[in-house]
Copies of this chain bind each other. A is one copy, B any other.
Amino acid sequence: MELYSYFRSSAAYRVRIALCLKGLDYRIVPVHLLRHGGEQLGDDYRRRNPEGLVPALDEDGRILTQSLAIMEYLDETHGPATLLPADAPGRARVRALALHVACDIHPLNNLRVLRWLAHELKVEPSARDDWYRHWVELGFRSLEAQLQSPATGRCCHGDAPGLADCCLVPQVYNARRYDVDLSAFPTIERIAAHCESLPAFQAARPDAQPDAE
């Protein structure tokens, strides 16, 4: 399997964690989001993924896109399923936590969005940083509230890492880069710290990637 990835991309980071958690062999194909006007927008990459976003997974010529869809696919096809709980209400909870990050926090803080704010809307750097922090803090506040549940363990759902943790840890990494004060979100901080101590999460870290700078 080949993962088209950029070391700092949150969405690629999610899939790297999932691949490592499942112990699957894969090779990184770096797609540099900043060089050459963005390699993800070049014809070569867009033949694989017309959306021009990383990640994409190539499994024997089958191209999969969208990090959450890729992770569900890996869990369904490379058993045993470990990224999602066995019960439907548990799966709904884990998916909701993952989607909370993937739909309501991360899309607003993507590189392409921050660029549009700067270049098209001429938003000052300080207001752009406020924008970043606003959506992360708003999202983390409600995520922290949702994690106040007996279903939360050392990880987002019980003690074993799953789909929600694959999304949470990259978002926390991202938030730290923008100096978001995480002390207001003790459960998120605790879960991230625990996950980051695990070998799979360490192998997936941005600074452990072949294209890290």
Partner-B contacts on A (CB < 8 A): 50-53, 62, 64-66, 68-70, 72-73, 76-77, 88-89, 91-93, 95-96, 99-100, 102-104, 106-108, 113, 116-117, 120-121, 123, 127, 130-131, 134, 142, 145-146
Nearest CB in chain B: distance from A67 CB, A: 8
Number of copies: 2
Nearest CB in chain B: distance from A125 CB, A: 13
Nearest CB in chain B: distance from A60 CB, A: 11
Partner of A50, one of B52, B68, B106, B145: B145
Chain A: interface secondary structure?
Answer: helix
Partner of A92, one of B69, B93, B102: B69
Contacts of A146 in B (CB 8 A): 50-51, 65
> Are A96 and B50 in contact, CB atoms less than 8 angstroms apart?
no
> Are B89 and A73 in contact, CB atoms less than 8 angstroms apart?
yes
Nearest CB in chain B: distance from A22 CB, A: 14
User: Complex: how many Å from CA A87 to CA B161?
Assistant: 26
User: Complex: how many Å from CA A92 to CA B68?
Assistant: 9
Query: Known contacts A89-B73, A95-B69, A142-B51; is A107 also within 8 Å of B103 by CB?
Result: yes
Nearest CB in chain B: distance from A108 CB, A: 6
User: Complex: how many Å from CA A58 to CA B88?
Assistant: 15
> Are A142 and B52 in contact, CB atoms less than 8 angstroms apart?
yes
